[in-house]
């Protein structure tokens, strides 16, 4: 397939290298004007990718959008008219709510969401490190997407397994968002690794967050048991104890966070259902204050 990656950061570059190695023709689209970019994955020899070429973009079968949640709209808007009619569009980022704002503009395309637990680090513009093996789940976001889901999942699974399809991607996204709502803000505010959230007083806060989150997810028509969510969150804290969360890293590196699409999205949906979520609101406000102190 001809695959274009929009957002050649850590995750986008990781997919670019693995999809290239699986035999696909991969190009990149950045906000720069370079005609090619060389990428080295781990210690392997560099691969050179064509970049920002309109002729390639207009022949793209699959556009993989790996910008951050708050960058989705501004990244995809300028290139929608350059895509061929049946080009599949796959979004992959943390958080929820960003794709909803652009879906009406791309309703002629098959649209998918891919959620991944792989870890990737961009050491510099040309060096990518695959820091953690994970898995990827892909699901359809519109009816046009259903026909080609299996074909896409097969192609991505051959490149960087395991990749599974999920006919209820909304549930998978809420499951991930629920845990992100607990781990991301708390590690950022406590300036700690994930494992340090296992302290008793922090677990009490997490239990309260889980009660609020479960109410919102259930009101949205998805399944969430507050006790199971609390248990799952503790398991993730233990399994990723040495990691710094993405929000912690964003604040540490003076970058905007994805809080508006994580806790912010939860608060929006809570408000729509008249559900009180004071603990989540408190963490949201504290992160926004911290973010405002960054000079980006
Ligand atoms: N990294 C991970 O391990 C990981 C794991 C799971 C999920 N995720 C999620 O995946 C998403 C991407 O994360 P990441 O770590 O890959 O972030 P990243 O390294 O910052 O990559 C984002 C890329 O998008 C580019 N971009 C932004 N606006 C653009 C535009 N208008 N046109 C073209 N390119 C644009 C950025 O370009 P510049 O270089 O010019 O800024 C950057 O290269 C996030 O939602 C993150 O939470 C990441």
Cβ count near 81 (within 10 Å) = 8
Q: What is the pLDDT of residue 162?
A: 98
Q: What is the pLDDT of residue 235?
A: 97
Q: Kindly state whether residues 128 and 60 are assigned to the same domain.
A: yes
Residue tagged 């005609």 (tokens): 35
First vs last C-alpha separation in the chain: 37
Q: Kindly state whether residues 150 and 233 are assigned to the same domain.
A: no
123 as an active site residue: the answer is: no
Spatial contact of 222 and 212, defined as CB atoms under 8 Å apart? no
Q: H/E element holding 49?
A: strand 47-50
Ligand 1 atom index nearest CA of 118: 5
Ligand 1 atom index nearest CA of 29: 33
Ligand 1 atom index nearest CA of 120: 3
Q: Kindly state whether residues 162 and 175 are assigned to the same domain.
A: no
pLDDT tier, 2 (very low <50, low <70, confident <90, very high otherwise): very high
Q: Kindly state whether residues 59 and 132 are assigned to the same domain.
A: yes
Judged by DSSP in three states, 40 sits in strand
Judged by DSSP in three states, 214 sits in helix
> Per-residue pLDDT averaged across 101-119, rounded?
96
Q: Kindly state whether residues 163 and 174 are assigned to the same domain.
A: no
The token pair at 114 is 């891919």
Q: How far is CA 243 from CA 60, 207, 237, 248, 261, in A?
A: 36, 21, 9, 10, 21
User: Which of 167, 191, 206 represents a domain boundary (last residue)?
Assistant: 167
CA of 215 to the centre of ligand 1 (A): 31
pLDDT at 296 over 70: no
Which of 27, 91, 15 lies closest to 57, judged by CA?
27
We report the CATH number of the domain holding residue 208 as 1.10.1040.10
Q: Kindly state whether residues 153 and 206 are assigned to the same domain.
A: no
pLDDT at 257 over 70: yes
Ligand 1 atom index nearest CA of 69: 45
Q: What is the pLDDT of residue 43?
A: 87
Q: Can you name the residues that pair with 90 across neighbouring β-strands?
A: 64, 112
Q: What is the pLDDT of residue 295?
A: 66
Q: How far is CA 270 from CA 207, 219, 236, 280, in A?
A: 17, 8, 24, 10
Please report, rounded to a whole number, the percentage of residues in the chain having pLDDT higher than 90: 97
* Top mutation candidate among 17, 66, 98, 129 for ligand 1, by most atoms within 8 Å of CB: 66
Which of 180, 177, 184 lies closest to 249, judged by CA?
184
Chain segment 143-177, per-residue pLDDT in tens: 999 999 999 999 999 999 999 999 999 999 999 99
Q: How far is the C-alpha of 156 from the C-alpha of 134, rounded, in Å?
A: 13
Q: Kindly state whether residues 149 and 270 are assigned to the same domain.
A: no
Q: How far is the C-alpha of 12 from the C-alpha of 9, rounded, in Å?
A: 5
We report the CATH number of the domain holding residue 93 as 3.40.50.720
Specify the number of domains making up the chain.
2
Q: How far is the C-alpha of 156 from the C-alpha of 154, rounded, in Å?
A: 6
Nearest CA to ligand 1 atom 45: 93
Judged by DSSP in three states, 75 sits in helix
Nearest CA to ligand 1 atom 29: 75
Q: What is the pLDDT of residue 99?
A: 97
Q: What is the pLDDT of residue 294?
A: 81
Nearest CA to ligand 1 atom 40: 31
Q: H/E element holding 186?
A: helix 169-190
Q: Kindly state whether residues 111 and 195 are assigned to the same domain.
A: no
* Top mutation candidate among 246, 260, 264 for ligand 1, by most atoms within 8 Å of CB: 246
Nearest CA to ligand 1 atom 20: 9
Range of the domain at 117: 2-167
CA of 117 to the centre of ligand 1 (A): 15
pLDDT tier, 30 (very low <50, low <70, confident <90, very high otherwise): very high
Chain segment 232-256, per-residue pLDDT in tens: 999 999 999 999 999 999 999 999 9
Q: Which of 125, 176, 226, 234 is catalytic?
A: 176
* Top mutation candidate among 4, 5, 6, 11 for ligand 1, by most atoms within 8 Å of CB: 11
Ligand 1 atom index nearest CA of 117: 6
User: Which of 129, 151, 167 represents a domain boundary (last residue)?
Assistant: 167
Burial class (CB in 10 A: 0-12, 13-18, 19+), 135: middle
Spatial contact of 50 and 56, defined as CB atoms under 8 Å apart? yes
Q: Kindly state whether residues 150 and 246 are assigned to the same domain.
A: no
Q: Kindly state whether residues 10 and 153 are assigned to the same domain.
A: yes
pLDDT tier, 15 (very low <50, low <70, confident <90, very high otherwise): very high
Q: Kindly state whether residues 119 and 209 are assigned to the same domain.
A: no
> Per-residue pLDDT averaged across 200-210, rounded?
97
Q: How far is the C-alpha of 116 from the C-alpha of 260, rounded, in Å?
A: 20
User: Which of 121, 138, 167 represents a domain boundary (last residue)?
Assistant: 167
The set of protein residues with a Cβ atom below 6 angstroms from ligand 1 is: 6-12, 29-31, 66-69, 71, 74-75, 93-94, 116, 119-120, 122, 246, 258
Q: How far is the C-alpha of 206 from the C-alpha of 204, rounded, in Å?
A: 5
Q: Kindly state whether residues 260 and 120 are assigned to the same domain.
A: no
pLDDT at 67 over 80: yes
């Amino acid at each position: 397939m001809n695959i274009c990656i929009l957002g050649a950061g850590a995750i986008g570059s990781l997919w670019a290298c693995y999809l290239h190695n699986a035999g696909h023709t991969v190009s990149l689209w950045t906000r720069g004007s370079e005609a090619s970019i060389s990428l080295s994955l781990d210690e392997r020899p560099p691969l050179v990718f064509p970049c920002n070429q309109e002729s390639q973009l207009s022949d793209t079968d699959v556009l993989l959008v790996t910008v951050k949640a708050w960058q989705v709209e501004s990244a995809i808007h300028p290139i929608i008219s350059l895509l061929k009619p049946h080009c599949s569009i796959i979004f992959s980022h943390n958080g929820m709510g960003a794709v909803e704002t652009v879906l009406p503009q791309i309703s002629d395309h098959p649209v998918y969401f891919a959620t991944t637990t792989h870890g990737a680090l961009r050491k510099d513009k040309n060096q990518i490190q695959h820091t953690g093996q994970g898995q990827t789940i892909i699901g359809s976001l519109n009816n046009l997407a259903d026909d080609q889901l299996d074909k896409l999942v097969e192609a991505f699974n051959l490149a960087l397994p395991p990749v599974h399809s999920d006919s209820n991607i909304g549930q998978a996204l809420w499951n991930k968002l629920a845990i992100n709502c607990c781990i991301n803000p708390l590690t950022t505010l406590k300036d700690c690794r994930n494992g340090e959230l296992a302290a008793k007083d922090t677990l009490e806060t997490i239990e309260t967050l889980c009660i609020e989150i479960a109410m919102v997810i259930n009101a949205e028509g998805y399944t969430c048991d507050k006790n199971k969510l609390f248990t799952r969150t503790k398991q993730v804290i233990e399994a990723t104890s040495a990691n710094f969360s993405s929000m912690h890293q964003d604040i540490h590196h003076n970058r905007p966070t994805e809080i508006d699409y994580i806790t912010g999205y939860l608060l929006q949906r809570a408000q729509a259902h008249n559900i009180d979520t004071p603990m989540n609101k408190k963490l949201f406000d504290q992160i926004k204050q911290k973010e405002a102190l960054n000079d980006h």
